Structure 1
Amino acid sequence: MSADLNLQGITEEDIAEYLVLTPGFFERHATLLATIQLVSPLGKRVVSLQERQMEMLRDRIKGLEQRLVDMIRNAQDNESLHQRLLGLANTLMLTADASQLPGVLCEVLREQFQVPAVGLRLWGVTQAWAHLPCTEGVSAEVRSLAASLGQPYCGANSGFEAAQWLEGESPGEGLSLAQSITSIALIQLQRSDGRSFGLLALGSPDPARFGADMDTDVLRHLGHLAQSALSRLLG
C-alpha cells in the first residue's frame, strides 16, 4: 500500500496529517471504522479498531497502576527513613554520657539502618576523651582524606584504610570483615568552622549498597546528626 501511495505522490504521512486536520472525516464515514482491522501485539491476531483501542487503554492503565505503586512504595520508604533519622537524633540527644556517643551512633546505624559494618575515627577531642577507641590509629592520610571530602564518598572499597576500622558481624569463610567489604561510604565530620574532626565509614559486602550512583542526601543528614552529637567531645 505504501508503495502504491508513493507512486501516486501521496504518502502515508500525508494521509495521517489529513485525518488529523479533518476531525469530521470518520463522522461522515462511520461505517469505515467497523471495517478497519489491525494486528494485535497479543498473539499477532487480527482485531477490530475498537478492540485494539481497548488493548492500548488496558496497557496504559497498567502502566499508570505501576507508577502509582512505585510512588506509594517510595513514599513509604521515605517515611520509614524519616522516622529512623528522627529516632537517631532522639537517641543521641538522650545520651547523657558523652563517652557513650560513638558506640551509640555505630550501634544505631547497624541495627536501625541495617548497615552491616560501621567504623568511626575522631581527632582533636579533649584530653578527657582521648582514651576512647575511636581516637586510636588516626593517620595523617585519614585526616587528609576526610578534609578532601566535599560530600560523602560512595563506591567500591579500593583498599581504604577506613575499612580496617569497620565493626560488624564476622563474614566467616576465612575472610576478615575488611576483606568482605565491597562497597563503602565515607562521611566527613566537621566543626562549625568547617575543619574536619572525624570520619564515619559505612561498609557492606553488597557492591550495590553504597554504589557510586547512590543519592548522598541521606548520608549528608547522617553526617550532620553525627557531627552535632560528637562535637561534645571536642576541645
Structure 2
Amino acid sequence: MNDREVADYLLANPEFFADHAELLATIRLANPHGKAAVSLQERQMEMLRDKNKLLERRLAELLRYGHENDSISAKFNRWTARVMAERDPYALPRTISHGLREVFDVPQAALRVWDVAEPYLQADFTRQVGEEVRIFAGSLATPYCGANTGFEAAQWLASTVSAVSAAPPGEGSGASEAANATSGANGASGANATHGANGSEAIESISLIALRDPERDETGNVFGLLVMGSADPRRFHDGMATDFLTQIGTLASAALSRLLPR
C-alpha cells in the first residue's frame, strides 16, 4: 500500500486507533521546532497551542475594532448634537465642516452646496462650484476615498486653511468662509491649490461625499459635496470602510436640506 491508500483507509475507518490504541504510543512525528521526533500526543498539543494563539490574535483584533467603533460612534454623536443645535442656516455649513475637524480630528474639511433657495444664492458656501464638480458629485454612489489627484474641490480646503491662519483672533470662522470665494476656479490647478498661503502641507489623501436631498428620488437629488483632506496619504485610502462616512453624509444632507427651495 502506498501513502495515499493508507490515509484513505484511516479516513474510512476512524475507529482503527480506538481498536489499536497501543499503536498511538509508538507513533513518532517530526518536531516543527527542531530535529527531535515527538509523540502524536505532543504534536497534537503543539497544534492546539498554535490554533489557540491564532484565535487569541483574532479576538484581540476584534476587540480593537470594537473599541475603535465605540470611539467613532461617540464622536459621531457629539458631532450630530452640534449640527442639530445649530439654528442659523447661514452658519450650518461652517458648523458641519468645523465640527468634523474638531470632533473627528480631520485636518481639513469644507463643503459647497448648489441649487439653494433664493436667500442663500450669494452665500459663501455656494461659490466656486464648477460644472465638473456637480457632475462628479452626481456620480458618487458611495463616498470616494483615495489619493488627491488634483480635485477641484481640494481648493476649498486650501482656501479655508489660509483664511483661518490669517484671520484675527476670534474671527477665524467667519473669515474662513468668506475667503472660500478667493480660491481659483481652474480644476487643473487643484494639486497646487492644496498648499495654503501660510505654507501648509499639501493634501495627499481626500474623501468626497455627495450631499443628497432626502425628500427627492435618486435622479438629480445631489445638491452639494463635502470634502475632507489630510497630508497623510493613508488617512483616506481606497480600501477603508465607508459606513461612518456614509452616515456623516446622510446627516449633513438632512441638515443642509433646509437651504433648498421647497
1:57 paired with 2:57, answer no
Look at both structures and tell me which one has the larger radius of gyration over its CA atoms. Answer: 1
Aligned equivalent of 1:112: 103
Cα gap change, 1:126 to 1:27, in 2 (>3 Å) = closer
- 3-state SS of 1:154 partner: strand
- Aligned pairs for 1:213-228 (under 5 A) are 213-228=239-254
Task: Please say if residues 210 and 225 of structure 2, whose CA atoms lie closer than 8 Å, have aligned partners that are also in contact.
Answer: yes
Aligned equivalent of 1:203: 229
Amino acid at match of 1:215: A
130-139 or 57-66: which moved more?
Answer: 130-139
- Aligned pairs for 1:1-235 (under 5 A) are 10-166=1-157, 167-168=160-161, 176-177=195-196, 180-191=202-213, 192-193=215-216, 194=218, 195-235=221-261
Number of residue equivalences: 222
Cα gap change, 1:28 to 1:147, in 2 (>3 Å) = closer
Show CA shifts across 1:25-69 (max 9, x none).
Answer: 223332321222112222343222111111101011111111211
Show CA shifts across 1:139-178 (max 9, x none).
Answer: 12212221222222222211101111114598xxxx8158
Aligned equivalent of 1:4: none
Show CA shifts across 1:67-112 (max 9, x none).
Answer: 2112222222222222222222221111112222111111121122
Could you tell me how far apart the structure 1 residues matched to 2:100 and 2:23 are? 67
Task: Please say if residues 195 and 203 of structure 2, whose CA atoms lie closer than 8 Å, have aligned partners that are also in contact.
Answer: no
Q: Which runs of 5+ in 1 are unaligned?
A: 1-9
Could you tell me how far apart the structure 1 residues matched to 2:149 and 2:35 are? 52
| Aligned-residue RMSD, C-alpha | 2.2
Could you tell me how far apart the structure 2 residues matched to 1:226 and 1:77 are? 22
- 3-state SS of 2:71 partner: helix
Work out the percentage of aligned pairs sharing the same amino acid. Answer: 47
- 3-state SS of 1:161 partner: coil
